[in-house]
Amino acid sequence: MVFASVLLAVVLRGAADRVATALHIPATLALIVVCAGGLGLLAGAFWWQGPRVAEEAEILRQELPDAVAKLRARFEEFRGVREISESVPSPSELVGNDSFVQRAAKAATSTLGVLTAAALWLFVGFLLALSPALYRDGVLRLLPESKRERASAVLSRLQDTLWWWSLGRLLSMTFVGVATGLGLWLLGVPLAFLLGLIAALLSFIPNLGPIIAAVPAILLALAQSPQTALWVGLLYVGIQAVESLVLDPVIDRHTVYLPPALTVVAQLLLGTIVGLLGVALAAPLTAAAMTAISILWVQGVLAPGRGRETNLLHER
């Protein structure tokens, strides 16, 4: 949660600094403008498409079990698959015998926890973005005086890395959402808008997110015909190929290259330790860790002369 707040603060402060430079206004006022503009866009989006998203989400909740049942029936037509299918517990068995009141209480508690965590995330991120120098100087004062200059350079590079990574992710999410929604609409798949929104949100998580987002779309398409499901699968593969071959190289120029295997390992590790939040933040955490290791260890210890030259070029 602390790192998520820092990531939000980097995004808000980076946007505020650029607004302040463009409009020639104080940074604090620019931050207020950025926050007000962001909240206004979110409120407008909810007012414009909120009812539609809620309606399609309810339809998706009702149609997914039917799609899974149809898929199960198709597989049972093959010899030897029926025994495996019968050994798999039904959705009601997986849910358990909790009463409706108990399930509603659990959902309410979980929702309250998510809303509280989101409010704390926004509040702490705004405070960090409001006075970044205060917290930056506080961190530097914890270090010996001889190490502060090096640490300051590391913090500056980390801020730059996280800003460009977040900007690149936002660009990728927009592209994936628009392309997915438009492609599903052209293929005649129902709930194309909601599925595009899900694809956009889950594309924040590299590697694993697109796979998870493709599952409901393929299931709904399979309920229509196997050919439609095939075309939907090819659509998702094509969009991810464009993202990986076109967008990701542009992002890597301003941040660091994240090897896919390393990112997946980080997602699995943090997902096991922290949960879903660890999976979501594994990529920016890995980018920050690789940047710090590159400056402190590779350039500072293994090749100190080369690291000094690289830092001078970066400052220029």
Q: How far apart are CA 165 and CA 121, in angstroms?
A: 19
Q: How far apart are CA 17 and CA 12, in angstroms?
A: 9
State residue 50's pLDDT score.
85
With respect to residue 95, please indicate whether it lies within any of the assigned structural domains: no
Cα 105 from chain centroid?
A: 28
* pLDDT, tens digit (0-9, with 9 covering 90-100), for 145-180: 888 888 898 999 999 989 988 988 898 899 999 999
Label residue 52 by pLDDT band (50, 70, 90): confident
With respect to residue 156, please indicate whether it lies within any of the assigned structural domains: yes
State residue 307's pLDDT score.
46
Q: Pick from 21-30, 91-100, 306-315 the range whose average pLDDT is largest.
A: 21-30
Is the model's pLDDT at 309 over the cut of 80?
no
Is the model's pLDDT at 100 over the cut of 90?
no
Is the model's pLDDT at 306 over the cut of 60?
no
Ranges 63-67, 78-82, 219-223: which has the least confidence: 78-82
Helix axes 2-23, 282-293, angle to 10 degrees: 80
Average pLDDT over the chain, rounded to whole?
82
Helix axes 192-202, 208-224, angle to 10 degrees: 160
State residue 303's pLDDT score.
58
In the block, residue with structure tokens 């000094």: 308
With respect to residue 200, please indicate whether it lies within any of the assigned structural domains: yes
With respect to residue 38, please indicate whether it lies within any of the assigned structural domains: no
Is the model's pLDDT at 12 over the cut of 90?
yes
Asked if 196 contacts 178 with a C-beta cutoff of 8 angstroms, the reply is: yes
With respect to residue 32, please indicate whether it lies within any of the assigned structural domains: no
What's the Cα-to-Cα distance from 163 to each of 6, 23, 231, 245, rounded to whole Å? 11, 20, 36, 21
Q: What's the mean pLDDT in 204-225?
A: 89
With respect to residue 180, please indicate whether it lies within any of the assigned structural domains: yes
State residue 224's pLDDT score.
84
**Number of compact structural domains in the chain:** 1
With respect to residue 3, please indicate whether it lies within any of the assigned structural domains: no
Asked if 195 contacts 180 with a C-beta cutoff of 8 angstroms, the reply is: yes
Q: Which domain holds residue 173?
A: 148-316
> 13: which 2 tokens?
């402060």
State residue 80's pLDDT score.
53
